[in-house]
């Protein structure tokens, strides 16, 4: 019982105008040697290059927008680029659609769940060759790993997000560099951004290096080297401890 065409097409097409990432996959192997343990004979005969069985339905894929991948296992995550693709887009929720419910859909739902994604399955957008395994799988994943919802509820939620649905999430985590530059000069001393803090450390080390040179300039040559190394060690030790210890900790009592 494959998913109806209209819901399947809607679930694939609707996220794109909202800027939501879409990944589309198909299963195929270079030869039958790549699937020696498949128990389903038609899989071994048809999941091969050039066979119509592995062709994507062009009504549900946009090759100029989607990540289109070939997979060699039931789960879309298995040895593919899907996870880096989702990570770069700051995705925290995955909507799984397709076929077969008891095979690739189940495996992809479990993999999504194991990777820490909130996983959603629109009931009208998945299907199977048999009705029994289809319903059994939906019952199981709803009890354990995913939220089983209607397509209408998914589309209604997406409409409420508007264009660039992932934009607000991205702006909190991946702010462009230029947006933060003007704030560095006004940051409180104890809350300086890393770049400003590193610059302060560099200036501190430079100043203490000048002091070290002044202290060792009058020493004999054989003592200059040893004294200079000791001063450099002490200087770097203090700066490292300032970064790693809580404020007010007794720096002099700590050994690196």
pLDDT digits (tens, 9 = 90+) for 79-136: 999 999 999 999 999 999 999 999 999 999 999 999 999 999 999 899 999 999 999 9
| Whether residues 216 and 118 fall in one domain | no
How many Å is the Cα radius of gyration of the chain? Answer: 29
pLDDT, residue 132, reads 97
DSSP 220: -
Q: What is the mean pLDDT of residues 216-229?
A: 54
Residue 149 reports pLDDT greater than 50: yes
- Of 173, 203, 226, the one marking the end of a domain is 173
Q: Which domain holds residue 25?
A: 5-173
Q: Which residues lie below 8 Å from residue 49, measured CB to CB, with a gap of 6+?
A: 28, 30
Q: What would the pLDDT profile of 5-23 be if each residue is shown by its tens digit? A: 666 666 667 889 889 999 9
- Of 173, 199, 215, the one marking the end of a domain is 173
Question: What's the whole-model pTM score?
Answer: 0.62
148 with 109: CB under 8 angstroms?
Answer: no
- CA distance to 181, 192, 234, 239, per residue, from 200 (Å): 16, 10, 18, 10
Residue with tokens 């934009």: 167
Q: Which residues lie below 8 Å from residue 115, measured CB to CB, with a gap of 6+?
A: 77, 83
| Whether residues 62 and 155 fall in one domain | yes
Q: Which residues lie below 8 Å from residue 162, measured CB to CB, with a gap of 6+?
A: 18
Q: Which residues lie below 8 Å from residue 110, measured CB to CB, with a gap of 6+?
A: 75, 141, 145
121 with 147: CB under 8 angstroms?
Answer: yes
Enzyme catalytic residues: 104
| Whether residues 12 and 138 fall in one domain | yes
| Whether residues 30 and 69 fall in one domain | yes
The total domain count for the chain is 2
| Whether residues 181 and 112 fall in one domain | no
């Amino acid at each position: 019982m494959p998913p109806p065409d209209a819901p399947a097409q809607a679930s694939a097409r609707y996220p794109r105008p909202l800027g939501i990432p879409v990944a589309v996959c198909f299963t195929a192997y270079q030869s039958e040697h790549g699937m020696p343990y498949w128990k389903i004979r038609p899989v071994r005969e048809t999941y091969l290059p050039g066979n119509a069985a592995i062709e994507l339905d062009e009504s549900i894929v946009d090759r100029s927008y989607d990540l289109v991948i070939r997979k060699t296992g039931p789960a879309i995550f298995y040895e593919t680029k899907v996870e880096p693709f989702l990570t770069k887009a700051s995705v925290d929720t995955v909507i799984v659609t397709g076929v077969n419910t008891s095979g690739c859909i189940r495996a992809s739902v479990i993999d999504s769940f194991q990777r820490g994604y909130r996983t959603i399955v629109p009931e009208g957008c998945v299907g199977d060759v048999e009705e029994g395994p289809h319903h059994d799988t939906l019952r199981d994943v709803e009890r354990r790993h995913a939220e089983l919802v209607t397509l209408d509820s998914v589309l209604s939620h997406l409409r409420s997000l508007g264009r660039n649905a992932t934009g607000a999430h991205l702006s909190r985590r991946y702010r462009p560099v230029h947006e933060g530059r003007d704030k560095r000069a006004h940051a409180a001393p104890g809350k300086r951004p890393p770049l400003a803090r590193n610059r302060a450390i560099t200036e501190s080390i430079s100043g203490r290096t000048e002091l070290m040179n002044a202290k060792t300039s009058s020493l004999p040559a054989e003592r200059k080297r040893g004294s200079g190394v000791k001063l450099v060690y002490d200087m770097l030790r203090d700066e490292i401890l300032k970064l790693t210890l809580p404020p007010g900790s007794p720096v002099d009592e700590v050994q690196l």
